[in-house]
Amino acid sequence: MQKRELGSSNLEVSPLGLGCMGMSQSYGVPPDKQAMISLIRAAVERGVTFFDTAEIYGPYTNEELVGEALAPVRAQVVIATKFGIKIENGQQVQDSRPERVKLSVEGSLKRLRTDVIDLYYQHRVDPNVPIEDVAGTVKELIAQGKVKHFGMSEAGVRTIRRAHAVQTVTAVQSEYSLWWRSPEEELLPTLEELGIGFVPFSPLGKGFLTGTIDEKTTFVSSDFRNIVPRFTPEARRANQTIVHVLRNIADKKQATPAQIALAWLLARRPWIVPIPGTTKLARLEENIGAAAIRLTADDLREIERAASQITIQGARYPEQLERRTGL
C-alpha cells in the first residue's frame, strides 16, 4: 500500500489504519486475546502501519493487547493512543488536567511496551481544563521525547485552533462516513487550512455500511449498538437506502459495499486516513482491498447525487454521549 501523510506533519502511515477498540469492548464479548494479537500482526504483514487504541479501551487492556502484538515490529508501525478519560465510581469521567495527562502517558508507555507514543490524542475535550493547558502539557511530553505528535478527538474547530496555536495538532479524529457527514461543514475546511490530517473512526457506520445488517439483525446484550438511536429496527430499515447506493457502485467495481464506503472516504482528501475496526481476518483483508479501488469522477457524482436525496434516520449517539463531542 502507498503511504499517506497526515496533514503537513511528515507523519506517514498506511492509507487505512486499524481501529483496535472492538478487540476489547463495545461490540459484544471480546474475542480471544491471542487471536487478536494474530490479527494485528496479520495487518502488519499486509501493509497496515497505523494502529489506534486508547487508555480507556478495555479499560486499559486494549493498550496491553496492542503493545504485545506490535512489540516485535515496533519500529515499522505508528501507534496512536488517547488520554483524558478515567474511570471513577464505575463511570467514565473526563480529566485532562496536566497532572493527569502526565500520569496517563506513563501508564500508556508501559502498557504499549514502548518508549515513545507516535500520536497522542486528547480523547474528548475537557470543559474544565483550558485547551491551552492541555496542548502545553503535550508540548512538554514531546520535548521530553515521550510523545511525537499531538492529536485531538471529536473536538470543535475553535478548540482545535486554540490548541494548534500552542502545539501543532498533527491529526484530528472524528466520526465520518457516508451516513455521518457533519465534518464537511466546518471541520474539513479548517483542517485543510491548518495542515492537519483527518482520521475518520466508524468509517463503516459501526458496521452498517458493510451491508450485513438489517432490521432483523440482533446484537448481544453487551453490544454498544443496542443503545444507539440509529440502530433501532425502524432506523435500520429506513437507512438501507444508503447501502443500496453503495451496493450499486460495488457491483460495477466487483467490490463490496464496505470497500466502496472506504474508497469514497479515501477519495475525499489525500490526508484522510480511515481506521475501520474488525476482529475477523476476512474483514481485515476486505477493508485493506479498498485502498486499491479508484472511484472515477462519475462514480463519485453518482454517489453524491444518490446520497443527497437520502435523509439518514436516528441520532448517531445517545444524548448523554453526544454531549461530550464537538466542543
Active site residues: 57
Closest CA to 57 of 16, 99, 27: 27
The C-alpha cell that represents 55 in the structure block: 487508555
**CB neighbour list of residue 142: distance below 8 Å, 6 or more residues apart:** 148, 149, 150, 167
Question: Cis omega before residue 270 (within 30°)?
Answer: no
Closest CA to 111 of 41, 50, 42, 55: 55
Closest CA to 122 of 84, 179, 155: 84
| Residue 29 DSSP one-character state | S
* DSSP-based three-state secondary structure for 224: helix
Task: Report the alpha-carbon distance of residue 63 to residue 71 in Å, rounded.
Answer: 12
Closest CA to 277 of 32, 26, 96: 26
Task: Report the alpha-carbon distance of residue 213 to residue 318 in Å, rounded.
Answer: 20
